């Protein structure tokens, strides 16, 4: 078996691949480079850089399986893969805790003004304590947009730790979570008008691109705090900037951006009511191991066994 990695992966995944065949690291992640190197490849693993496009797959006559090191498959043309008989697999369980914890970390950092006061204290301004006021999460309403594995985990933690009432918006109801933590299914507009903390956990699809924009920010409470750890393009970043700049919402926490890497002069960085991190929520010791083990499904497909986490149906 011949395997091609778009980017390096954890040794745990490399061992799985190496036991089954030869592993190569692509010399670049642009389309032309991948095309030049994929001709004799049976399985690929894609991370954040580059994309597995139809054109690439059409130049890969032996390719049978594409593994996504992570959950979102927006950088894999799944429709083309299905047409060409290429199985796509991912690691939907690998990132749940990392992303949920990052979301909670952003909530706490923003609510307690941790980043701002850390910077002021390091600059010698101990008296910032007299000019800064945080707030508590306890008992405040959480609105979760996208109630899949990650959204549900965020809700569980916030409800257990801070007794936060939970509203959720999703195309699929979650009766078990309604019983477990009293979560309530709500129309999107009602959630936006009611929740004090709003967090987004949806995949990037045509219907979710810029799901949250000018109209949605206008519906939010002036004390609402907004968080996105899903995909940057789910949010209209310019609309978010205006809502924060004009203090129409209280604050925001982002781990993802419309363009990544985002520009150093991103206007959001000039605001003091936002906390940002560089798409790092899945980069934990545990998460990197679990994502690299997408290799197990890649090998399984090539050996004729059913994968644990198929994204599409082929054959």
pLDDT per position as a tens digit, 254-313 = 999 999 999 999 999 999 999 999 999 999 999 999 999 999 999 999 999 999 999 999
- Backbone φ, ψ for residue 279 (5° rounding): 50, 55
The residues pairing with 59 across neighbouring beta strands, listed in sequence order, are none
For the CA atoms of 52, 54, 60, 61, the dihedral, rounded to the nearest 10 degrees, stands at 140
* Averaged confidence pLDDT in the chain: 97
Q: pLDDT tens-digit profile of 42-62?
A: 999 999 999 999 999 999 999
- Catalytic residue IDs: 231, 260, 279
Q: How far is CA 313 from CA 84, 104, 110, in A?
A: 11, 35, 42
CA distance 67 to 87: 8
Any idea what DSSP says for residue 306? Answer: P
- For 110-158, the pLDDT digits (tens) are 999 999 999 999 999 999 999 999 999 999 999 999 999 999 999 999 9
CB 45, CB 6: distance < 8 Å:
yes
Q: Which domains does the chain have, with CATH numbers?
A: 2-92+285-302 (3.40.50.720), 96-276 (3.40.50.720)
Mean pLDDT of 184-212: 97
Say what the pLDDT of residue 315 is.
77
**pLDDT given at position 274:** 98
State percent of the chain over pLDDT 90. 99
pLDDT for 243: 98
């Amino acid at each position: 078996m011949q395997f091609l990695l778009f980017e390096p992966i954890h040794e745990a995944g490399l061992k799985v691949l190496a036991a089954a065949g030869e592993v190569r690291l692509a010399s670049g992640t642009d389309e032309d480079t991948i095309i030049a190197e994929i001709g004799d490849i049976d399985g690929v693993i894609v991370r954040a850089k580059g994309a597995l496009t139809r054109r690439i797959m059409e130049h890969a006559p032996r390719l049978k399986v594409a593994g996504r090191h992570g959950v979102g498959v927006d950088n894999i043309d799944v429709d083309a893969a299905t047409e060409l008989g290429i199985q796509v697999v991912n690691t939907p369980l690998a990132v749940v805790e990392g992303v949920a914890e990052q979301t909670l970390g952003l909530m706490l950092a923003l609510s307690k003004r941790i980043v701002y006061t850390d910077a002021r204290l390091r600059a010698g301004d101990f008296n910032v304590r007299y000019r800064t006021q945080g707030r508590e999460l306890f008992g405040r309403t959480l609105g979760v947009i996208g109630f899949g594995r990650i959204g549900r985990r965020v809700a569980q933690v916030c409800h257990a730790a801070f007794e936060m009432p939970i509203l959720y918006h999703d195309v699929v109801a979650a009766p078990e979570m309604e019983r477990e933590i009293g979560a309530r299914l709500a129309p999107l507009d009602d959630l936006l008008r009611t929740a004090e903390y709003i967090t987004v956990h949806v995949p990037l699809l045509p219907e979710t691109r810029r799901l949250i924009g000018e109209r949605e920010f206008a519906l939010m409470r002036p004390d609402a705090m907004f968080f996105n750890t899903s995909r940057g393009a789910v949010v209209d970043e310019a609309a978010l900037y205006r809502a924060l700049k004009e203090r129409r919402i209280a604050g925001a926490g982002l781990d993802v951006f419309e363009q990544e890497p985002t520009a150093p002069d991103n206007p959001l960085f000039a605001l003091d009511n936002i906390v940002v991190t560089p798409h790092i929520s899945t980069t934990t010791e545990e998460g990197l191991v679990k994502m690299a083990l997408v290799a197990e499904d890649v090998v399984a497909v090539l050996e004729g066994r059913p994968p644990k986490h198929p994204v599409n149906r082929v054959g």
